[in-house]
Amino acid sequence: MMSSVRTLLFLILISLGTPALSEDGYDLWLRYTPVNPQLQAQYRDSISSIVVSGNSPTMLAVRDELTRGLEGILGTTVPASLTAEKSGALVIGTPDSSEAIAALGLPLTNLGTEGYLLRTANQNGRELTVIAANSDVGALYGTYHFLRLLQTQHSIQDLDISAKPKTQTRVLNHWDNLDRNVERGYAGQSLWDWHKLPDYLDPRYTDYARANASIGINGTVLTNVNANATSLTPMYLEKSAALANVFRAYGIRVYLTARFSAPIEIGGLKSADPLDPAVREWWKKKTDEIYRYIPDFGGYLVKANSEGQPGPQDYGRSHADGANMLAEAVAPHGGIVMWRAFVYSNEEPDDRAKQAYNEFVPYDGKFRENVLVQVKNGAIDFQPREPFHPLFGAMPKTPLMMEFQITKEYLGFATHLAYLAPLFEEALDADTFVKGKGSTVAKVLDGSLHGYARTGMAGVANIGVDRNWSGSHFDQANWYAYGRLAWDPMLASREIAEEWARMTFTNDEAFINPTVEMMMKSREAVVDYMTPLGLHHLMGRGHHYGPGPWVEGGPRADWTSVYYHRATKEGIGFDRSASGSNAVAQYAKPVAAIFGDRNKVPEQFLLWFHHVPWDRKMSSGRTLWNELVHAYSRGVQSVSEMRQTWDHLKPYLDAERHAQVASFFEIQEKEAKWWRDACIAYFQTFSERPIPEGYAQPEHSLEYYKSLEFPYAPGHH
């Protein structure tokens, strides 16, 4: 009753052209609101009953989702039926569970366990719509695809779609601690309520699983890579198992981070040496124990010998020794080890950008077959813009996974709008040239370039207990885009943005076009007002909030900003060419020839690879100094434009979400100016050149910007 009253009210509001009821963002892109009446009529004609075959928890989830989705989109309840005896049946299942599907003899063989077909079919004179797969999870993915077609107002006549994921392991990495603090999390506390687990299962866990399944994410690493051995104790394994029980129906496996020193901390051993038989035995037993709690446990994610984490090098052993020990323990159970390449040792390197390559390339081919090496998109650390990580062109014998950061540690936290799919796409489309032109990072990752048997992608989650999950409405798009790209790294960021915006807000073209434009330019705006022209790592020390180009001193040089920008009276930038650290030599020759030549390198990477005089002429005709001021100012300008665009979009959505985004734009504009002014004031002390005419002077003195402190910035550990 309640729900039909609500639907009616909703329809009245829609037909009046009034913005929808207030929304808080909880429903993400699964809002299932009514489509326009004409389409609704068409959809109703095509779908008159739902026939879900099978009673597994996954098929129950399919039935629930379809019922919920169709009721919302079509504005009416579509009856469930046991057989497809009438035209207009929507039939979902596998050849094993559904006679109707078996009888159609569909080409399912190449779709694997996660792929699916969406087909319009004729059977004995009846027209059916079919969602068919080899497994229940495939049928679930097909169901979400079908609902997406409806949500984005596509025709469902003459359907003939087949899809399967291009990578196997598509995981979220939660940097969530057991005390619920989320490292680099800007959306509140961790979703995992460890204290109440395993007994209380927050309904949110199911909605989390639904959201992930809807975009093809099939794994979740529950715990922080800066790991705590307590998560491997029986008490916590029971809690993780409870989560795994919720996620299983949605095709999502649970993974845990393995603290390398756990045998000492919770096992009572004296050592964690990976070649010590007692240590190996401990991990084997511990792993067997985990599988008793979680029979489909996915495996371990490990950060070792990086930023103070323990690891095999503590015992003079290699990353391969460490990874292989854990791989051996999970192998009998079909598990994997994701071993992170984000390493840098305690000795200061001549160039931190070179370290992962130096430490991993010698071990190419030495890892067990169930190890994937997880590599960040760039060699430093999730900067607004980085050239692709050289490791992607250098490990033909080792499956490499991508690690993207969805949470915006370096891109304005949750308040700045930065749609990250263009950043992801730039990394995926980058050409490593390792097997000649066209050897893109995407082809390395999907296994097609080197024939990797295992493939995967990881995204550092931006999710917490905030009502809208991500801390901002637009940050939901980054979670969404990550999932879609993990499924298919060849997808275009613009299409993903459009898909997401239609489902999250409205199908009204007057809203969609400007919103997609705004999203597409948003990340470039952040690059401009934070780190233009290849600058990097200029953020405030530790918490990374706001500008800190002056950061120097402290425990090690490569944790400072001055290490990265190297500004002097003569010029600015990190010389990574042959005359400098020669990091360019880690790329294939054709790439090195471009990055290593300051006249050929794309200007967006200029100061990443070269130290350049202030007066150097840029392609615009401006000097480097003037170009820098120009770029910083352009960034601020873009944010003002986005804010204005958003103001005009008020009529198209609910007031609640509009208002939050609008006020976040005010924050972003204020902080973009802060970035511009602080950086220009600071770099001017080196360039000693005036700010060119027509550009604003910094609002405050450099001393003022330097004096700002943020001891309670979120996400810091």
Strand-pair category, 160-163 with 219-221: unpaired
Least distance from C-beta 188 to ligand GCW, angstroms? 17
The closest of 472, 467, 651, 406 to 27, measured between CA atoms, is: 467
Nearest distance from C-beta of residue 387 to ligand GCW, angstroms:
17
Q: Is 671 one of the catalytic residues? A: no
Name the residue nearer to ligand GCW (CB basis): 310 or 580: 310
50 or 343: whose CB is closer to ligand GCW?
A: 343
> Which one among 43, 144, 250, 382 touches ligand GCW, defined by CB under 6 A?
382
Q: Using the minimum distance from each CB to ligand GCW, give the nearer residue, 315 or 559.
A: 559
Helix, strand, coil share of the chain (percent; to 5): 45, 10, 45
Q: Which of 24, 85, 96, 307 is catalytic?
A: 307
Cα 57 to its chain centre, rounded Å, is 27
Residue with Cβ nearer ligand GCW (409 or 524): 409
Q: Which positions from 569 through 588 interact with ligand GCW, judged by CB under 6 A? A: none
Compute the least distance from the CB of residue 186 to ligand GCW, in Å. 13
Tell me, what DSSP letter sits at residue 366?
-
Nearer to ligand GCW among residue 268 and residue 308 (C-beta): 308
139/632 Cα distance (integer angstroms): 48
CA dist 25 to 28, 468, 623, 657, Å?
A: 6, 5, 45, 7
Task: Tell me the number of residues near ligand GCW by CB under 6 A.
Answer: 11
The contact mask relative to ligand GCW for 207-226 (x = CB under 6 A, - = no) is: ------------------xx
Tell me: does residue 409 bind ligand GCW (CB under 6 A): yes
User: Is 381 noted as a catalytic residue in this protein?
Assistant: yes
For residue 308, what are its two tokens?
């103070």
Q: Are 151 and 503 in contact (CB under 8 A)?
A: yes
Smallest gap, in angstroms, from Cβ of residue 486 to ligand GCW? 18
Tell me the closest approach of the beta carbon of residue 340 to ligand GCW, in angstroms.
7
Nearest to 145 by CA among 484, 461, 468: 484
Q: Which residues pair with 457 in a beta bridge?
A: 170, 402
| Closest C-alpha to 501, from 668, 646, 669 | 646
Active-site residue, from 23, 381, 425, 669: 381
User: CA-to-CA distance for 180 and 163, rounded, in angstroms?
Assistant: 37
Report in angstroms how near the CB of residue 413 gets to ligand GCW at its nearest: 13
Select the residue interacting with ligand GCW from 116, 255, 342, 413 (CB under 6 A): 342
CB nearer ligand GCW, residue 224 or residue 626? 224
Of 97 and 407, the one with the shorter C-beta distance to ligand GCW is 407
When the beta carbons of 370 and 407 are compared against ligand GCW, the nearer one is: 407
Is 409 a residue of the active site?
A: yes
Nearest approach in angstroms of CB 226 to ligand GCW is 5
Per CB under 6 A, does 183 bind ligand GCW? yes
Structure tokens at 524: 């470039």
Q: In the numeric block, which tokens belong to residue 25?
A: 């963002």
Of the two residues 405 and 506, which places its CB atom closer to ligand GCW in the complex? 405
Burial 360-384 (b: 16+ CB within 10 A, else e): beebbebbbebbbbbbbbbbbbbbb
Cα–Cα distance measured from residue 227 to residue 247, given in angstroms and rounded to the nearest whole number: 22
In the region spanning residues 69 to 98, those forming contacts with ligand GCW, defined by CB under 6 A, are: none
Residue with tokens 């690493």: 221
Structure tokens at 392: 């992607």
Could you say whether residue 485 binds ligand GCW (CB under 6 A)?
A: no
First to last CA, the chain: 48
CB nearer to ligand GCW: give 279 or 460.
Answer: 460
Per the omega criterion (within 30 degrees of 0), is the bond before 362 cis?
no
Are 654 and 672 a contacting pair, CB within 8 Å?
Answer: no
Identify which of residues 256 and 639 has a Cβ nearer to ligand GCW in the complex: 256
By CB under 6 A, residue 181 contacts ligand GCW: no
29 in contact with ligand GCW (CB under 6 A): no
- Residue owning tokens 């930038």: 573
CB 63 within 8 A of CB 91: no
Task: State whether residue 433 is helix, strand or coil.
Answer: coil
Tokens of 623: 């000097």
For CA atoms 150, 152, 156, 160, the dihedral sign is negative
Query: Among 63, 303, 543, 576, which residue interacts with ligand GCW (rule: CB under 6 A)?
Result: 303
Give the dihedral of Cα atoms 509, 515, 518, 521; nearest 10 deg: -80
The alpha carbon of residue 216 and the mean position of all alpha carbons in its chain are separated, in whole angstroms, by: 12
Among 32, 144, 175, 646, binds ligand GCW (CB under 6 A): 175
Rounded to an integer, what distance in angstroms lies between the CA atom of residue 171 and that of residue 376? 14
Q: How many CB atoms lie within 10 A of CB 222?
A: 25
Kindly tell me which residue out of 321, 381, 499, 524 binds ligand GCW, with binding defined by CB under 6 A.
381
The residue whose two tokens read 């020193």 is 261
Sign of CA dihedral 393, 399, 405, 410: negative
CB of 409 to ligand GCW, least distance (A): 6
Q: Residue 173 CB, nearest distance to ligand GCW (Å)?
A: 9
Q: Which of 409, 431, 669, 677 is catalytic?
A: 409
Residue from 63, 164, 184, 523 touching ligand GCW (CB under 6 A): that is 184
Query: What is the H or E stretch that residue 93 is in?
Result: strand 89-93
| Residue 359 or 409 having the CB closest to ligand GCW | 409
CA 351 – CA 115 distance, rounded (Å): 43
Which DSSP string corresponds to 262-281?
HHHHTT--S---TT-HHHHH
CB of 224 to ligand GCW, least distance (A): 6
> In whole angstroms, how close is the CB of 639 to ligand GCW at the nearest point?
24
The footprint of ligand GCW (CB under 6 A) covers 175, 183-184, 225-226, 303, 307, 342, 381-382, 409
Residue numbers annotated as active site:
307, 381, 409
